[in-house]
Structure 1
Amino acid sequence: MRKRLIEERSRKGWTQKQVSERLGISEVYVRKIEKGARNPGRETMLKFETLYSVPDRELFPDLFQVIFDTKCI
């Protein structure tokens, strides 16, 4: 669940359908992105960033986490 993304949409009083229309993507895709079931492409991320005036790293923190995997196989 991408809380900041949902908070920004709610703050503006928009539905997922309204966001999808503004971004030119499907409502189902918006729903899946908000739930974290799908990851947006770079172009779509930039559309969200522009729409909400919030950096993509804040809207999609899960995509920018640095994980150091030190486990050896």
Structure 2
Amino acid sequence: MRKKLVNLRTSKDLTQKQVAEILEISEVYVRKIEKGERNPGRETMLKFEQLYGIRDRELFPDLFQVDFDTKCIDVNSA
């Protein structure tokens, strides 16, 4: 769940339906984005950024995290 999105929406006293209307996307899509079930495209991220006045990297940190795989395959143990 993307709690920051939910907290920002509720702090502005907006419903998911109102956010959907403002951003010109479906209410179902807003719900799925907030739950983390769907990832927004770049254009939709920018719409959220403009609505809340917060950078997309803060709104969707899960999409911008970089994980490095530090485990190596031991070819000698095969």
The answer on 1:67 being equivalent to 2:45 is: no
- Residue 76 of structure 2 corresponds to none
* Structure of higher CA gyration radius: 2
**How far, CA to CA, are the matches of 1:22 and 1:47 in structure 2?**
9
Higher relative contact order (CA 8 A, sep 6+): 1
Percent identity at matched positions?
77
- Residue 10 of structure 1 corresponds to 10
Task: Give the superposition deviation at 1:66.
Answer: 1.0
The answer on 1:35 being equivalent to 2:35 is: yes
Number of residues paired by the alignment? 73
Q: Which amino acid counterpart does residue 5 of structure 2 have in structure 1?
A: L
What are structure 2's unaligned runs of at least 5 residues? 74-78
**How far, CA to CA, are the matches of 1:2 and 1:13 in structure 2?**
17
What are structure 1's unaligned runs of at least 5 residues? none
Which aligned pairs between 1:50-65 and structure 2 lie closer than 5 A?
A: 50-65=50-65
Q: Which runs of 4+ in 1 moved over 6 A?
A: none
CA-based RMSD of the aligned residues comes to: 0.8
